[in-house]
Chain A
Amino acid sequence: MAELAQRPFPPGHYRLIIVGSGPGALQLTYCLDRLGIDHAVLSADPGPGGMFRRWPVFQRMLSWTKPFTGFERESRVYERYDWNSLLAEEPASRAVMARVMDGSSYFPSRPEMERGLVTFAEMAPLRIRFGCHWETTQKDGGDYVLGTSDGEYRTPLVVFAVGVAEPWRPAIPGLENVPHYGELRAAETYADRRVFIIGKQNSGFEIATGLLPLARQIVLASPSATKLSVNTHSLVGVRARYVQPYEDSVLAGGVVVLDASIDEVKRVGDRYQVQTRRAHDGAALSFEVDDVIAATGFATPLRDLTQLGVATFGQSRLPAQTPFWESATVPGIYFAGTINQGAPGLKKHGIPSNSGAVQGYRYNARVLARHLAESQFGMRLPRRRVDAGEVVSHLLAEVSRGPELWHQRSYLARVLVIDADQGIVDDGIAPLAHFVDSAGPNAVAVALESNGRDDPYPAVYVRRDGEVTEHLLEPHPLLNFEGDEYQKAMIATLDRVLSPSLSQPQR
Chain B
Amino acid sequence: MAAQDDVADTIAGFALFADLSAPQREQVAHLFDEAWFSEGERILRQGFSGSGLYVILDGAAAIRIDGVDRATLQAGDYFGEISVLLGELPNADIVALRRLRCLVLPSAQVEAFLKAHPNVMFRLLQGEARKVRTTTKWLS
Contacts and interface: CB of A to CB of B under 8 A. Distances in A.
Interface of A: 168-171, 222-224, 259-261, 277-280, 282, 311, 313-315, 317, 320, 322, 328-329, 342, 344, 346-351, 410, 436-437, 449, 451-453, 469-470, 472
A437 B30 contact: no
Contacts of B108: 349-350, 451-453
A320 B36 contact: yes
B57 to A, nearest CB: 9
B23 A223 contact: yes
Given A314-B3, A470-B48, 16 more contacts: A223-B27, A279-B23, A280-B116, A311-B99, A313-B36, A315-B4, A347-B35, A350-B50, A350-B106, A351-B106, A410-B50, A451-B49, A451-B50, A452-B106, A453-B108, A470-B49
A449 B49 CA distance: 11
Interface residues of B, number: 37
- The 8 tightest CB contacts between A and B, nearest first, are A350-B106, A348-B50, A224-B30, A313-B36, A320-B36, A223-B27, A261-B23, A349-B50
A346 B50 contact: yes
B49 A223 contact: no
B3 A315 contact: yes
Contacts of A328: 36, 38
B106 A279 contact: no
B68 interface: no
Nearest to B108: A452
Contacts of A329: 38, 99
B52 A350 contact: yes
Contact of B21 (A282, A349, A449): A282
Contacts of A320: 36, 38
Contact of B34 (A261, A314, A346, A469): A314
Nearest to B117: A280
A469 B47 contact: yes
- By DSSP majority rule, is chain A's interface helix, strand, loop, or mixed? loop
B27 A171 contact: no
B27 A170 contact: no
Nearest to A352: B33
B74 interface: no
B27 A279 contact: yes
B58 to A, nearest CB: 10
Contact of A315 (B2, B27, B109): B2
Contacts of B51: 348
**Which of A223, A260, A347 has most chain B Cβ within 10 Å?**
A223
A346 B41 CA distance: 11
Contacts of A451: 49-50, 108
A350 B105 contact: yes
11 contacts: A170-B2, A171-B1, A224-B30, A282-B21, A329-B99, A342-B36, A346-B50, A349-B107, A349-B108, A469-B47, A472-B49
A278 B22 CA distance: 11
Contacts of A313: 3, 34-36, 101
A429 B136 CA distance: 47
B3 A348 contact: no
